[in-house]
Structure 1
Amino acid sequence: MTKQSKKPYIIMGILILAIIGMFFLSLNLGLIRISPVDVLRTLVGAGTEKDALVLFQFRLPRMVIALLIGAGLAVSGAILQGVSQNGLADPGILGINAGAGFAVVMFIFFFQGSLTGLGTISIFVMPFFALLGACLAAFLIYILAWKKGITPVRLILVGIGINAAFGAALIVFQLKMNPRDFMQATIWLAGSIWGTNWKFVLATLPWILILLPITIYKARFLNVLNLGDQVATNLGTRVEKERRILLFLSVALAGACVAVGGGIAFLGLVAPHIARRLVGPRHQVLIPTSALVGALLLLVADMLGRNVLQPSEIPVGLVVAMLGAPYFLYLLMKTP
């Protein structure tokens, strides 16, 4: 193995070490500060009951969810950018997250009536409703953006329009909620990791563990699709079939993440671009690197959101938007 071929794996190793370091730093920080020594003691079962409660019931599940959602949204964005050959594609910008969020709020509104009263079964059902909403949004975007093919600018404009339409529909249902649920829905839709217990981790984990390896396996088809439909067909690739499978993987990942993390935009845009600069365009290494970058970015954003304005908390989606919006504008200005 040459030095050049080792580079992506070295970078992935560095990212994993950075995630581990940020993970332990985030365990220390918060409204209740816990020293690194006490964190280690608590993790091995020798800490106080108070420290164990804070770490195992509040911080650890939230941080694990941040890692899962960050990886899922980043990979979803990487797939969209590869399939559409559009560097501006992102499930948040295109309205896929909004469609998933709309379906989840509809589910809560009609079947639960309270964001605080979700039972165990409901937690596991929500990702399926989010998938339906995300699929509906993706279908509408594809249909409306198609005009003798799909151009990058047309895709973005249609996606922004779909995003706005679902946003308006969400407001209608929010206005019918009681004030408490209205505020909670607003915070969640801004991108708040509100599921801070292990049930939400268990509801999200299977989606990531199943869909992520399938996406890495399918990565070679993204490389072929980037050569153009005609070349891909000549190489024996069933273009439309593989494109539909990849789009479904992207939509499913985004839907599962939105069900727990709310409307976190720009992460699926920024993370693949950073990964591409680090390891290049080959999707076999780009996708796992995007997952690591996305997990690291959301973990950092969540830590900043929890600590910058203590005791108040900034929704992680707003932190990501503040970091990602300038980069989106920069990419938009570069697009011809």
Structure 2
Amino acid sequence: MIDQRIKKQRVIIIVLVSLLVLIALLSLGIGYSSVSFDRIIPTIFGEGTFKEEFVLFSVRLPRIFITILAGMALALSGAILQSITRNDLADPGIIGINAGAGVGVAVFFLYFPIEAGNFVYILPIVAFMSALFIAALIYIFSYTKGSGIQPIKLILVGVGFSLACSGAMVVMISSAADQKVDFIAKWLAGSIWGTDWPFILALVPWLVLLVPFIFYKASKLDLLAFSEPVAVGVGVKVEKERLLLLIAAVALAAAAVSVTGGISFIGLMAPHIAKSLIGPRNHLFIPIAMLMGGLLLLVADTIGRNAVEPEGIAAGIVTALIGAPYFIVLLLRKK
């Protein structure tokens, strides 16, 4: 049975990787400054014109890599949160972690001027510290002595903190310069703003460190997804593991949204789709969820970027249009 699932997992991974490559090639060739599809491969191998090389290497490719990596990070964050809270509705955007990271980004951007070269690399750390503080508050207010985390209460508290953080950002930008207001407004809408190679270098280390850690903890996540007595009965230090995994989930989400803006619902949809394809075992569905998260965000950004030229629609708005109905259906099922 396990061998069959592993074979099925491999097939699904091959299909998703193929779809990612296909959508990436489509995204490379369409846009305000289009590059014909028959010129993409020659340009990649250095046989393109200056315009073609500029569009591909300076504009399109870094944006595509950012959306895929950020989608993967958000999907993994959502998978962790759903397991440790035993709540299928958990998502870093819905429960306020993304908005918490946004407050830190806004404060840092508005009030702590720093050299442009260092700004990119410090931003994920600032977002992480801010998101971790908000996540701790959400956890405290959602916890009930004797019964632990209440799923619906977690959602309600998280939504409340998310609205409060978004309101705080609106207050902060009300007296800021127009240029800075534009940046924060784009961040709130989920517009992919970190579209240059240094942003990829700022995001990759978080994934390189945390993805192997999460795979190492996959069996613990399986146990935490059951009832607390079951986890304790097999020797899991529940609070310690839950805290470590929560910090990892916050770090992944904060690193992603620090360069993409306020993207929601990727962390909700990708794990659900992966579980429906392969089952609830974390070591099986997590790779699929990550690929699905990258694919969903890439598709959303490609649609949004080309929907209204030249500005387009923010990827966060596209994911919300898809994810909000999905969330409502799941919420009704939980009742």
Q: What range describes the TM-score normalised by the shorter chain of this pair?
A: over 0.9
Match of 2:99, SS state, is helix
TM-score, normalized by length of structure 1? 0.96
Which whole-Å CA distance do the structure 1 matches of 2:310 and 2:165 have between them? 32
Are 1:129 and 2:107 counterparts? no
Percent of pairs identical after alignment?
Answer: 45
List structure 1 runs of 4+ shifted beyond 2 angstroms.
1-5
**Normalising by the residue count of structure 2, what TM-score does the alignment of the two structures yield?**
0.97
Question: Structure 1 counterpart of 2:311, which letter?
Answer: S
Residue of structure 1 in register with 2:112 after alignment:
111
Q: How does 1:129-148 map to 2 (within 5 A)?
A: 129-148=126-145
Q: 1:88 to 1:214 in 2, by over 3 A?
A: same
User: 2:330: which partner in 1?
Assistant: 331
Matches of 1:142 and 1:153, distance apart in 2: 13
| CA deviation string 1:6-33 (max 9, x = no partner) | 1112111111111011111111111122
Structure 1 residue 171, shift from structure 2 partner: 1.0
In the TM superposition, residue 227 of structure 1 has moved relative to its aligned partner by 2.4
Report what 1:188 is aligned to. 187
Secondary structure of the residue that 1:173 maps to in structure 2? helix
> Shift of residue 78 of structure 1?
0.5
Provide the rounded CA distance (Å) in 1 between the counterparts of 2:60 and 2:132: 32
Contact 2:78–2:90 (8 Å) recurs in 1: yes
Alignment of 1:13-162 (within 5 A): 13-112=14-113, 119-148=116-145, 149-162=148-161
How much has 1:184 moved relative to structure 2? 2.2
Q: Quick one: distance in 1 between partners of 2:9 and 2:181?
A: 45
Q: Considering only aligned residues, what root-mean-square deviation do their CA atoms show, in Å? A: 1.2
CA distance in 2, matches of 1:317, 1:209: 25
Structure 1 CA distance for aligned equivalents of residues 91 and 257 of structure 2? 13
Once the two structures are TM-superposed, the CA of residue 300 in structure 1 deviates from its matched residue by 0.5
Q: What letter is aligned with 1:73? A: L
Q: 1:118 Cα deviation (Å)? A: 6.2
The residue type paired with residue 263 of structure 2 is I
- 1:165 aligned partner, one-letter code: A
1:161-188 deviation per Cα after TM superposition (whole angstroms, max 9, x unaligned): 1111111111111112112321221112
Residues 277-315 of structure 1: per-residue CA shift (max 9 Å, x gap): 111100002111110000000000110011111223111
Structure 2 CA distance, aligned partners of 1:333 and 1:204? 35
1:247 offset after TM fit, Å?
A: 0.5
| Cα distance in 2, alignment partners of residues 237 and 211 from structure 1 | 20
Answer yes or no: is the 8 Å Cα contact 1:73–1:254 preserved in 2: yes
CA contact under 8 A between 1:216 and 1:288: conserved in structure 2?
no
Matched residue type, 2:101: A
Check whether the contact 2:28–2:40 (CA below 8 A) recurs between aligned residues: yes
Farther off after superposition, 176-185 or 293-302: 176-185
Larger CA deviation: 234-243 vs 315-324? 234-243
Cα contact 2:86–2:226 (8 A) shared by 1:
no
Aligned equivalents of 1:262, 1:4: Cα separation in 2:
36
Alignment of 1:172-321 (within 5 A): 172-321=171-320
8 Å Cα contact 2:103/2:130 also seen in 1: yes
Inter-partner Cα distance in structure 1 for 2:3 and 2:173: 57
Report the Cα offset of residue 5 of structure 1: 3.4
Gaps of 5+ in 1: none
Q: Aligned residue pairs: how many? A: 332
Is the CA contact 2:301–2:315 (under 8 Å) kept in the aligned structure 1? Answer: yes
